[in-house]
Structure 1
Amino acid sequence: MNWPKNTAPRQDSDTAAGIEVTDNFERFTQRNDIFTRAFWDPKVKSKQTATFFASYRMEAAPRRGDGFTQRDFALRNAAWLISDVISNRRGGDGIREGFQAAIQSDTPVAPEPIEIEDPARMSAEVKRISKFFGADLCGITDLDDRWLYTSRVDTRDFSEAPHDLPEGLNSVIVLGHEMEADLVATYPSALAGAATGREYSHEASVVMQLAAYIRNLGYEAVPSMNDTGLVIPYAVKAGLGEYARNQMVITPEFGPRLRFSKIFTNLPLAHDAPKPLGVRAFCDICTKCADACPVKALPLGPPLEGGGNISAIKGVRKWTSDAEKCFSFWAKMASDCAICMRVCPFNRNYDKIQNRLWLRLALSPFRKLALRLAKDHGGRVKPGAWWAQDKKQQAGKAS
């Protein structure tokens, strides 16, 4: 692959991004991600996992109790609707767009590309247009092929199939989409899953529209969600945040409360640089996410190479979760879990000055004080309280 001139040397870029790749590195095969394994691997596939997936179609009887009522499941599943429409539209071909395969472009590439004289100015334009379509964050990095999956997944038999990406792609536009804080505060619950589903539906729309814009300019653009490649390394290299113990990207704007999507393109763009601020040093002394995990799927110690099962990438020294333990809890609840997101000390509203001050403290040599101040941070809010907001608003109007 010919790297663009504005791409920093890979080794230097890795160091700045805090990415530690060893000699044992192997690109990841998406067939081995835990969600795909739930369809073919007897070690993961079970009646509980079948119920988990069926619950997103209201086929499974909802659990009783606060946060798991029919109304909670109904909102969660409605939030996923647009994403589901996109991912299911080519199911007969074994292609699940946005999850096990890239999203098919509905817009042809214009035959006459516009001339790009200044890639930096074009990057600024792309970021502005991404915000116009609804993205909350946007960063740009080089297409580092180490983070591409070795193949896509044919969902007819869950075998490996080629990506069929266009030739000449050299940049990745990474988009961040904020999850609603009030819903995240109710994890674990089916209600909280609406925050995840809404952003998947939002990002499907945003990433497809931005890709269509680029294609209308005369350049290739492949919209992508969970498919095609690992988004976290791209997000970190694009300067959007830093990798954390809870397996998430911590951003200075929203903490870990984000979903990410991406676009692979050959549009001439200037690339952003990683921006290490000190999250790694804070996570070295903080284990709130690991302590709060019900199935102890998150690591307590320092970053290590590899993982306990095939759902972990090989040859990268990092904090790695036990995906099998994690997904077993999701299947048991018939909904996603993000307790580790909820309790994270960085999960705050940074519109408030006190939280911006806390962030400065957490990223400074006084991080231990910041950790003590976050001792009681991230408690669970009862899901019923989220629904009760409607009643409070109505009562306020009546008075």
Structure 2
Amino acid sequence: MSWPQNTPPRQDSDAAAGIEISEAFEPFTQRNDIFTRAFWDPKVRSKQTHKFFASYRMEAAPRRGDGFSQRDFALRNAAWLISDVISNRRGPDGIREGFQAAIHCDTPVAPDPVTIDNPTRMSAEVKRISKFFGADLCGITDLDERWLYRSRVDTRDFSEAPHNLPEGLNSVIVLGHEMEADLVATYPSALAGAATGREYSHEASVVMQLAAYIRNLGYEAVPSMNDTGLVIPYAIKAGLGEYARNQMVITPEFGPRLRFSKIFTNLPLTHDTPKPQGVRAFCDICTKCADACPVKALPFGAPQEGGNNISAIKGVRKWTSDAEKCFSFWAKLASDCAICMRVCPFNRDYTKPQNRLWLRLALSRFRKLALRLARKHGTRVKPGDWWQQDTSKPS
């Protein structure tokens, strides 16, 4: 691909982004994603995985105790509604938008593009408009082809299919969407899954609207959620945060408590750069997420290249989870699990001065003190308490 004039050529490894790549690197095939494997791979597919996906229909949702009642599943499944409507609208064609294929653009590209004389100003405008539509964070990076999936998935038979991205795309706009902190505090529960579903529905709306704005300016823009490429490397390269032991991006605004989406575009933009501040050094001494994982799917020790199964990308040195163990627990719960997000010491409300002070300690040479101060951080809140928290307030 040709490089935009405002972008320096990348190196084999983006050291500043915490991305270390070896000669064994291979682009990831999305067919090997653990969620897609649950439909075609006998090693992953089971009665429990079937029940997991079926639970997103209320007639199949199990009801067992606090956090997994009909009311909890009702809220979780309702939170997913907009995302589900978008992802299912072209299902008969084998296309699942936002997950195994990019979202279809309902807005045509305007025939007369607006002249962009100042890409830096245009980047600032895109960030402003992204927040107008509801994104909490926005960063911009180059379209690094290494992080595109090798292929998309045809959901009719789960075979590989081409992306069919337009020619000339050279930038990725990465958007962050904050998850509800009080719901995250109740993981693992179906109730907590509403925090995930709400942001998938939010991000579907935001990426479609922001892409429509860009297309109305006369430039290509492809809205994307989990599809088309790995969003975590793009988020790191766009300066939104740093990679952590729990497989998440730690941001200074929300810690790990976000979902990410992206837009591929040829709109003239300047690119942000990675901003390492010390998360890697903190994760080197912290294993709270790995300790808390019920199935021990998260790694201890230093980052390593490769992983335990085909759901791990090859040739990247990083902390890598055992996706098969992780998803097996999700299937057992009939809901997603983010205990690792809940217990992460960076999962805090940074509008509070004491938490901003803690962050400064954690990213400094006093990180061991910060870790000691976080010893009891992330204790689970009973889901029933979430339902009760507003009942005493007058209407």
Partner of 1:271: 271
Matched residue type, 1:197: G
Superposed CA deviations along residues 19-49 of structure 1, whole A, max 9, x for unmatched, are: 0000000000000000000000000000100
Partner of 1:329: 329
Partner of 1:178: 178
Matched residue type, 2:283: C
Distance 1:118 1:59 in 2: 54
Superposed CA deviations along residues 257-303 of structure 1, whole A, max 9, x for unmatched, are: 00000000000000001000000000000000000000000001100
Superposed CA deviations along residues 189-229 of structure 1, whole A, max 9, x for unmatched, are: 00000000000000000000000000000000000000000
Matched residue type, 2:271: H
Q: For 1:52, what is the secondary structure of its paired residue?
A: helix
Distance 1:244 1:64 in 2: 33
Structure 1 residues 281-292: aligned runs within 5 Å: 281-292=281-292
Distance 2:249 2:182 in 1: 20
Q: For 2:72, what is the secondary structure of its paired residue?
A: helix
Distance 1:220 1:61 in 2: 41
Structure 1 residues 117-136: aligned runs within 5 Å: 117-136=117-136
Q: For 2:24, what is the secondary structure of its paired residue?
A: strand
Superposed CA deviations along residues 78-136 of structure 1, whole A, max 9, x for unmatched, are: 00000000000000000000000000000000000000000000000000000000000
Distance 1:392 1:259 in 2: 31
Partner of 2:51: 51
Tell me by how many angstroms 1:61 deviates: 4.0
Distance 2:51 2:15 in 1: 43
Q: Is 1:388 paired with 2:384?
A: no
Tell me by how many angstroms 1:366 deviates: 0.5
Partner of 1:108: 108
Superposed CA deviations along residues 154-210 of structure 1, whole A, max 9, x for unmatched, are: 000000000000000000000000000000000000000000000000000000000
Structure 1 residues 239-388: aligned runs within 5 Å: 239-388=239-388
Superposed CA deviations along residues 291-319 of structure 1, whole A, max 9, x for unmatched, are: 00000000011000000000000000000
| Alpha-carbon contact 1:90-1:96 (below 8 Å) kept | yes
TM-score by length of 1: 0.98
Q: Is 1:70 paired with 2:70?
A: yes
Structure 1 residues 84-103: aligned runs within 5 Å: 84-103=84-103
Distance 1:307 1:291 in 2: 19
Distance 1:60 1:370 in 2: 44
Tell me by how many angstroms 1:60 deviates: 1.8
Tell me by how many angstroms 1:383 deviates: 0.1
Partner of 2:33: 33
Tell me by how many angstroms 1:13 deviates: 7.2
Tell me by how many angstroms 1:59 deviates: 3.0
Matched residue type, 1:320: T
Q: For 2:45, what is the secondary structure of its paired residue?
A: coil
Q: For 1:262, what is the secondary structure of its paired residue?
A: strand
Distance 2:362 2:306 in 1: 28
Partner of 1:156: 156
Tell me by how many angstroms 1:350 deviates: 0.1
Distance 2:111 2:355 in 1: 49
Tell me by how many angstroms 1:9 deviates: 2.6
| Alpha-carbon contact 1:13-1:274 (below 8 Å) kept | no
| Distance 1:275-1:70 versus aligned 2 partners, 3 A rule | same
Provide the alpha-carbon RMSD of the alignment: 0.8
TM-score by length of 2: 0.99
Partner of 1:227: 227
Matched residue type, 1:16: A
User: Which blocks of at least 5 consecutive residues in structure 2 are unaligned?
Assistant: none
Q: For 1:172, what is the secondary structure of its paired residue?
A: strand
List, as ranges, runs of 4+ consecutive aligned residues in structure 1 with deviation greater than 3 Å.
Answer: none
Q: For 2:254, what is the secondary structure of its paired residue?
A: coil
| Alpha-carbon contact 2:13-2:21 (below 8 Å) kept | no
User: Which blocks of at least 5 consecutive residues in structure 1 are unaligned?
Assistant: none
Q: For 1:376, what is the secondary structure of its paired residue?
A: coil
Distance 1:38 1:324 in 2: 10
| Alpha-carbon contact 2:172-2:234 (below 8 Å) kept | yes
Q: For 2:299, what is the secondary structure of its paired residue?
A: coil
Tell me by how many angstroms 1:390 deviates: 2.9
Matched residue type, 2:59: E
Superposed CA deviations along residues 322-353 of structure 1, whole A, max 9, x for unmatched, are: 00000000000000000000000000000000
| Distance 1:228-1:121 versus aligned 2 partners, 3 A rule | same
| Alpha-carbon contact 1:135-1:175 (below 8 Å) kept | yes
Distance 2:63 2:23 in 1: 47
| Alpha-carbon contact 1:21-1:316 (below 8 Å) kept | yes
Distance 1:110 1:261 in 2: 24
Q: For 2:381, what is the secondary structure of its paired residue?
A: coil
| Alpha-carbon contact 1:13-1:237 (below 8 Å) kept | no
Tell me by how many angstroms 1:11 deviates: 1.5
